[in-house]
Amino acid sequence: MTRLSEQEINEIRSQADIVDVISRYEPLTRKGKNYWCTCPFHDDHDPSMSVNEDKQIFKCFVCGAGGNVFSFVQRYEQISFIEAVAKVADYAGVVFDHSRLENTSRPIDPYAAKLHKIHQDMIEFTCYELDAPRAGPVKDYLHKRGLSDEIIKKFELGYNPPDNEVYHFLHAKKHADEDLIAANVARMGSMGMYDVFTNRITIPIHDENGKPVGFSARRIKDNDDAKYINTSETKIYTKGNLIFNYHRAKPECKKSGKAILVEGAMDVLAFEKAGMHNAIATLGTACTKAQLKLMKRLNVPVVICYDGDQAGQSATYKLGMLINNLFRFEIVENKVGLDPDEIIEVYGLDELKKMSERTISWIDFLFQYLSEKYNLENYSQKKAFAQEMADAIASMPDDFEKANHYMRLLQLTGFDMRQTVNEAQVSHAPRKRAAARRNYLTYPKDGALRAQHEILSQMLCGVAASNIYRDELGFMEDDTCNQLAIYIIDYYRTHTELIVADLLDLIKEEKVKDLLLEIANWELAREEIDMNVLRDDIKRCKSSLIDNKIKKLNDQIQQMHDPIQKAVLADEKNRLIRERGGILNEENR
């Protein structure tokens, strides 16, 4: 891979607007001179991430995440720096040679790679076996379920024959027994090694990058065996970190503008039969933070299409409570109480398509679901229903919609919840807002540290301030401040104007990056150089340096027993006191 030059990186960054790029991932709202959004890097419900268009940087004032357009994309997408540069180039319409990405893959875990290879070999074998004559009844079963050969091939559906043939095949491929056990495709029993998924239809499961990590396997015979069994947890398979079909559906979600979330792999295949390629599944109704993060990275609305039975609607409610205000979502209004495959069987493919378009909002779903959950004929239950609905309405961003739904709640229950909610907001919201912005308003109280920060703020405004600092002070007591000052001075050796987003890429130490972002995002940050303030701050720093030297001399004098050496130290102390007095006199002129 050819290394990207600083000039190439800066050219791409100069063509990309950080507001435009971040808005592809998070909805932004302008407040004052900056844009704000909820932070995708922590559990954030009150917008705490600021995006500064002038300086082309972002900063979260709760979790501390910050950087430029490249670091945002790199962290959000969990990709390498050069991959982030390539993505930003695409967003900005800058021509980028993607062949330069060929050797940017992350370091490979040899053991994980071995397990991936076992799964890939098993996929090839089970796909081959499904096409064998003896698997004719299995293939017929899939065809009767409406799965075409094209879908079977696309999803690599296979057949794990009896008599431990998968184990014998993988053993012949030189895979060690302990590795097959670790991959959970075979186990050791009293009679020796045996297949985990024997005599089952196999559905491969992949990670977000398309690497095979496990299987969901369906029984063929109608017996007492579990209908589905899945891979147990392994080094490469953690159910809560995976979304079925994510790697295939991702581009389709972008194309269609939405993702359809279903319960299981067969539900995904049902939508595939209907010609809809943007369905994904959590392989169950429980949803983890890792899975929510993957969904959020799709950056499209999620349409929840869980089963229409009581269990499915209960799961929809639990999921909605998790993702409300996290990303955009809608809910399919499933009034027939069937799963996607059953809908196709009873009503046909077109009905599944139409149903996926009949969506309702989260608040409409709550009105339906909770009015059935609570007995509205009972006063205490009606009160609980009204309170839960009022809390949900209060979280809505649109005041007009809020008013409409409060009226709807009043008509349904007779309770006017607006006053109750307003009182709660008055007592709690200011405290929450102050907590969310605490770091944003932080300004050093210590005079010397505050002066150092103000000097750095002015140095960011222009080379003149940097030169004055270099010539008249040249050192800061705080180590992080001193490191940042060195970076700024060095930057001006080759640049006439400082771009914060550029400087961030040159800084290696995270604490120095954090300080730069903090100073650049001050509400009171300097927009231009004020020479009088700059020189006053330099004098304060000089005075503070002298104060510290005097304190050290006082300690040395107290510990010194030699009268001659004590007198020498006292003379030095008096000289410093006179020097400090001269600085203070200049400051008061």
pLDDT for res 21: 92
Alpha carbon distances (Å) from 351 to 69, 260, 330, 361: 43, 15, 18, 20
The secondary element (H helix, E strand) that includes residue 281 is strand 279-281
Q: Count CB-CB contacts under 10 A for residue 373.
A: 15
**Of 101, 126, 154, which residue sits at a domain end?**
101
Looking at the structure, tell me whether residues 379 and 348 fall in a common domain. Answer: no
Query: Does 441 have pLDDT greater than 70?
Result: no
Locate 242 and state its tokens.
Answer: 């995976």
Looking at the structure, tell me whether residues 459 and 527 fall in a common domain. Answer: yes
Nearest 10 degrees: CA dihedral of 115, 247, 139, 158? 0
Distance CA 402, CA 361 (A): 13
What mean pLDDT is predicted for residues 179-203? 96
Looking at the structure, tell me whether residues 520 and 452 fall in a common domain. Answer: yes
Residue 153's CATH number: 3.90.980.10
The residue among 34, 84, 41 whose CA lies nearest residue 62 is 41
What mean pLDDT is predicted for residues 230-242? 94
Which residues have C-beta within 8 Å of that of residue 583, sequence separation ≥ 6? 539, 542, 543, 546
Locate 538 and state its tokens.
Answer: 């330099």
Please check whether residue 1 lies inside any domain of the structure: no
Which residues have C-beta within 8 Å of that of residue 387, sequence separation ≥ 6? 417, 420
Locate 439 and state its tokens.
Answer: 């770091």
3-state SS string for 51-92: EECCCCEEEECCCCCEECHHHHHHHHHCCCHHHHHHHHHHHH
What mean pLDDT is predicted for residues 532-536? 88
Percent of the chain exceeding pLDDT 90 equals 53
Query: Does 302 have pLDDT greater than 90?
Result: yes
pLDDT for res 436: 40
Residue with tokens 């927009």: 527
Distance CA 481, CA 291 (A): 40
What mean pLDDT is predicted for residues 501-529? 83
The residue among 461, 444, 435 whose CA lies nearest residue 525 is 461
Look at 584 and 350; give whichever has higher pLDDT. 350
Least confident of 22-36, 170-184, 200-214: 22-36
Looking at the structure, tell me whether residues 471 and 524 fall in a common domain. Answer: yes
Q: Is 182 exposed, middle or buried (0-12, 13-18, 19+ CB in 10 A)?
A: middle
Residue 5 binned pLDDT confidence (cut-offs 50, 70, 90): confident
CA 379 to chain centroid, in Å, comes to 43
What mean pLDDT is predicted for residues 465-493? 92
Nearest 10 degrees: CA dihedral of 435, 439, 440, 441? 80
**Of 236, 260, 289, which residue sits at a domain end?**
236
Q: In what order do the strands lie in the sheet with 259-262?
A: 279-281, 259-262, 302-304, 329-332, 359-360
Query: Does 259 have pLDDT greater than 90?
Result: yes
Give the pLDDT confidence of 319-339 residue by residue, as tens digits.
999 888 778 899 999 888 888
| DSSP annotation of 231 | P
pLDDT for res 431: 41
Query: Does 416 have pLDDT greater than 60?
Result: yes
Looking at the structure, tell me whether residues 48 and 157 fall in a common domain. Answer: no
Query: Does 235 have pLDDT greater than 90?
Result: yes
Please check whether residue 468 lies inside any domain of the structure: yes
Looking at the structure, tell me whether residues 11 and 129 fall in a common domain. Answer: no
Distance CA 442, CA 33 (A): 19
Dump the DSSP string for 487-513. Answer: HHHHHHTT-SS--HHHHHHH---HHHH
Please check whether residue 80 lies inside any domain of the structure: yes
Look at 95 and 270; give whichever has higher pLDDT. 270
Please check whether residue 62 lies inside any domain of the structure: yes
Query: Does 169 have pLDDT greater than 70?
Result: yes
Query: Does 119 have pLDDT greater than 60?
Result: yes
Please check whether residue 338 lies inside any domain of the structure: yes
Domain, as residue range, for 260: 246-360
What stretches of 509-548 adopt beta strand conformation (E)?
Answer: none
Looking at the structure, tell me whether residues 202 and 79 fall in a common domain. Answer: no
Q: Provide the β-strand partners of residue 188.
A: 193
pTM value surpassing 0.85: no
pLDDT for res 263: 92
Query: Does 410 have pLDDT greater than 70?
Result: yes
**Of 236, 255, 286, which residue sits at a domain end?**
236
* N-to-C CA span, the chain: 61
Please check whether residue 565 lies inside any domain of the structure: yes
Residue 230 binned pLDDT confidence (cut-offs 50, 70, 90): very high
Domain count, the chain: 5
Residue 587 binned pLDDT confidence (cut-offs 50, 70, 90): low
CA angle 438–483–72, rounded 5-degree value: 55
Looking at the structure, tell me whether residues 389 and 355 fall in a common domain. Answer: no
Locate 260 and state its tokens.
Answer: 């359809």
Looking at the structure, tell me whether residues 454 and 546 fall in a common domain. Answer: yes
- Do 216 and 228 touch, CB atoms closer than 8 A? yes
Dump the DSSP string for 450-464. Answer: HHHHHHHHHHTT-HH
Residue 301's CATH number: 3.40.1360.10
Distance CA 312, CA 316 (A): 6
Least confident of 99-103, 285-289, 391-395, 411-415: 99-103
Looking at the structure, tell me whether residues 312 and 415 fall in a common domain. Answer: no
Looking at the structure, tell me whether residues 429 and 467 fall in a common domain. Answer: no
Please check whether residue 241 lies inside any domain of the structure: no
Distance CA 263, CA 314 (A): 13
Residue 93's CATH number: 3.90.580.10
Query: Does 437 have pLDDT greater than 70?
Result: no
Looking at the structure, tell me whether residues 165 and 46 fall in a common domain. Answer: no
The Cβ-side half-sphere exposure at 520, using a 13 Å CA radius, reads 31
What does the mean pLDDT of the chain come to? 87
Please check whether residue 270 lies inside any domain of the structure: yes
Which residues have C-beta within 8 Å of that of residue 231, sequence separation ≥ 6? 184, 196, 205, 213, 214, 215, 216, 237
Dump the DSSP string for 84-123. Answer: HHHHHHHHHT----GGGGTT-PPPP-HHHHHHHHHHHHHH
- Do 206 and 280 touch, CB atoms closer than 8 A? no
pLDDT for res 435: 40
